[in-house]
Amino acid sequence: MSYALTRPMVLQEPLATPDGAGGYTTTWSALGTLWCELRAGTGSERRGAIAPEGRMLFRIFLRAAPQGSPQRPRPGQRLTEGARVFALLAVSEADASGAFLVCHAREEVPA
């Protein structure tokens, strides 16, 4: 299977930074740009605090990188495309040859 890896997305990992009051804030560090294909997955609606909230899942395809490589996405990291943010939930091989990965992600919408 071939993929249209035409979307540059930035892979980021979270960093805990002391906030000066004994706690931490999360900042994000860029690891590099990966060329991806973004496909919409399933969507759902759930009850929010004020109104119903929509939730959309995506599959993001990209070239594989070896285990342990900083260019291989992991759950807990995120991919960004401009102002759009995709939290990575799971990562697996997308094909039998292991040449591509698929990241299962949830788009985060800022409050």
Domain of 98, CATH number, reads 2.40.10.270
Taking the CB of residue 56, how many other CB atoms lie within 10 A of it? 14
How many independent structural domains does the chain possess? 1
For residue 25, tell me if it sits in a domain. yes
**Which secondary-structure segment (H or E) carries 98?**
none
For residue 2, tell me if it sits in a domain. no
Read off the pTM. 0.84
For residue 96, tell me if it sits in a domain. yes
For residue 22, tell me if it sits in a domain. yes
Q: In the Cβ-directed half-sphere of 74, how many Cα atoms lie within 13 Å? A: 10
Instruction: Give residue-wise pLDDT tens across range 47-94.
Output: 656 666 667 899 999 999 988 898 999 999 999 999 999 999 999 999
For residue 35, tell me if it sits in a domain. yes
For residue 84, tell me if it sits in a domain. yes
Q: Is the pLDDT of residue 46 over 90?
A: no
Please answer whether residues 100 and 62 qualify as being in contact, where contact means their C-beta atoms are separated by less than 8 angstroms: yes
Q: What is the per-residue pLDDT for 68?
A: 87
Question: What residue numbers bound the domain in which 70 lies?
Answer: 7-108
Q: Which of 59, 107, 104, 45 is nearest to 81 (CA)?
A: 107
Q: Which residues pair with 87 in a beta bridge?
A: 78, 106
**Which secondary-structure segment (H or E) carries 21?**
none
For residue 54, tell me if it sits in a domain. yes
Which two structure tokens, joined as six digits, stand for 5?
Answer: 């890896």
For residue 24, tell me if it sits in a domain. yes
